[in-house]
Amino acid sequence: MKNLYLVRHAKSSWEHNVSDRERPLKGRGLNDAEAMALEISKRIQAPELVISSPANRAHTTFLFFKEAFSLTDERCRVDERLYDFGGQSVMEVIQETSNEIDSLMIFGHNHAFTSIVNMLGDKYLDNLPTCGFAAIAFQQDDWSALKNGKTLTTLFPKEIRK
């Protein structure tokens, strides 16, 4: 059985004169990333492998989760292919994961993440919002053959804001 966790980057800022890849999180994004990381770390076991997009907004979001789960560097990496908005490259990353890994958490971008949640899970999402989380479980033991998973849960920042 495999578990896939998808986290879309938190709310980013458009106020800086930087490239798309370098856009930072805005204040709300920083708050949401911290709160979501803490909440999710209470709900699931630490993933065996975590992979982030290299984009600043996704990587910063990932760092909050790394801390909340107390993950070592050996369990974390960055993959250029997660800086993808369509989903094909994201699927390559998922499908190339070693079958020794049973739980994978990835950090990236829309529209790719909403599309993948809808393609692999059994519950339709209109949109995976910024810092949104989705967990999908699969009966298959081979990452390259994933299909027809069960959406275990979704969690969005607005559901935990105080």
What gap in Å lies between CA 108 and CA 12, rounded to an integer? 12
pLDDT tens digit sequence for 98-137: 999 999 999 999 999 999 999 999 999 999 999 999 999 9
pLDDT tens digit sequence for 61-76: 999 999 999 999 999 9
- Crossing angle for the helix pair 112-120 and 88-95, to the nearest 10 degrees: 60
**What confidence score (pLDDT) does residue 162 get?**
66
Residues sharing a CB contact under 8 Å with residue 84, sequence separation 6 or more, in sequence order:
53, 90, 108, 109, 112
What gap in Å lies between CA 141 and CA 151, rounded to an integer? 17
> Domain extents for the chain?
2-159
What's domain 2-159's superfamily in CATH? Phosphoglycerate mutase-like (3.40.50.1240)
Q: Check if the beta carbon of residue 109 is closer than 8 Å to that of residue 8.
A: yes
CA-based nearest residue to 19, from 57, 52, 51: 57
**What confidence score (pLDDT) does residue 161 get?**
79
**What is the rounded average pLDDT of the residues 69-85?**
97
